[in-house]
Amino acid sequence: MSQITSEWIQLDNGPRAWYARPAGAGPHPAIVVFIEAFGVNAHFQDVAERLAKAGYCAIVPDLYHGKIYEYSDFNGAIGHLRTLHDDLAMQEAGLAIAALQQRAEVRKNAIGVLGFCMGGRFAFMANAVHADKLSASVAFYGAGIAPDQDPAGRKPLLHLVDQMRAPLLLLYGAEDQSITPEEHGRIATALSTAQKRYTLTLFPGAPHGFFADPRDSFRPEAAKEGWRLALDHFARHLGTTA
C-alpha cells in the first residue's frame, strides 16, 4: 500500500498530533507513536507515514507542544525531557487513543503503541495505563524503564507490569551505553514473573538510536530488521487492513 494522507490534527483539550493514514476507507488498525526527546520532527512524521504505507493509521501526539530540537542539541532535548510529567504524557496519549477511536477509518479494537528512546518508555507505560484500549506494544531502546539510576530523574516502571495486557516487543542495541544488560535482565525477570507475553531482542553492534536515519547512531541493517519485527508484531496482534 502506498497511497496515504498525512496532516496535523488537533486533539480535543490537548496538543496537536501528526496523523498519517492509508487512503482506503478501512477500517484500519492504528498505532500511537511516541517520540524521542527531540520533538515531532521530520523523522517522526516519516515514521508515521511509513506505518500508513504499511496499512496502519498512525498518530504522533506532540508531547513537546510545538518544540523541536536538532539532533545536535542533546542538552536542549534532555533538558526538555526532564520537564515532562508521566501523568500528563499518559493523559495526552489517552487523547490520541480517543481521537483514533472517533475516526471512521480506524478499527476501534486494534490499536497499538510504538515508541523510541523516551517514547519507548512511554510505550511500555501506556501498555499498563491504557491496558484496556491497547492490543500491542513495541519499544525501541526504551530508556528509563528499569535503570539503576535514571540520569533524567524518572521513576522506574516495573511496578506497572502486572497491569499490562498487550504483548510487548522490546528492541535494544548491544552497544547502547545508556541501557545495560542488567536492565534488560530486570525487565525480563519482571515480565516473566508476571507471566506476560513479550519478546526481547538484542542487535549486536547497534548503539542507542540505531533506528533513526538522520542520526549518526543509525545502523541500516539493525533498523531494517527492527522495523520488520515491529511490523510483524503489529500484524500478528492488530491484524491488517480489511
Kindly give the confidence (pLDDT) of every residue in the chain, 242 residues in length, as a single tens digit, with 9 standing for 90 and above.
469 999 999 999 999 999 999 998 889 999 999 999 999 999 999 999 999 999 999 999 999 999 999 999 999 999 999 999 999 999 999 999 999 999 999 999 999 999 999 999 999 999 999 999 999 999 999 999 999 999 888 999 999 999 999 999 999 999 999 999 999 999 999 999 999 999 999 999 999 999 999 999 999 999 999 999 999 999 999 997 65
In 3D, which of 25, 68, 18, 11 has the Cα closest to residue 47? 18
| Cα separations in angstroms, 219 against 45, 140, 224, 229 | 20, 13, 9, 15
Contact 144, 121 (CB under 8 A): yes
Match 541501557 to its residue by C-alpha cell. 179
pTM of the model: 0.97
Residue identified by cell 501506556 is 126
